[in-house]
Amino acid sequence: MSIDRKAVDHVARLARLDLSEVELDVMLTELQEILGHAEQIQALDLDGVEPMSHSVPMVNSMRPDEVKLSLTQEEALANAPEVEDHRFKVPRIMEDEG
């Protein structure tokens, strides 16, 4: 599987990354290398091998349903670029960025 410049541009848009022409070229080269590595693995005979989503041999990590102290309102909003009415103020939500 290979990747072209158009696909890199698409993925960048999905990730809301604003890449320059030069950056797009760098990404294209790097992604091609990564996919090339994946191709080597795909060439192996993997019949009967379960896909692995996690590399730690562990399941069912959970916590009891206990309430812990939350941040104060001031702490929660400390990093907000703008605050109004004790809420995070965000720019107009554009519905479509293409």
Binding interface with another protein (CB under 8 A) = 14, 16, 53-54, 56, 58-73, 76-77, 84-93, 95-96, 98
For residue 4, is it left (φ>0), alpha (ψ between -120 and 50) or beta?
Answer: beta
Q: Which residue's CB is nearer to another protein, number 6 or number 92?
A: 92
Residue 45: CB minimum distance to another protein, A: 23
Token pair belonging to 65: 């349903």
End-to-end CA distance of the chain: 26
Question: In terms of CB distance, is 45 or 85 closer to another protein?
Answer: 85
DSSP 8-20: HHHHHHHTT----
Nearer to another protein (CB atom), residue 45 or residue 70 = 70
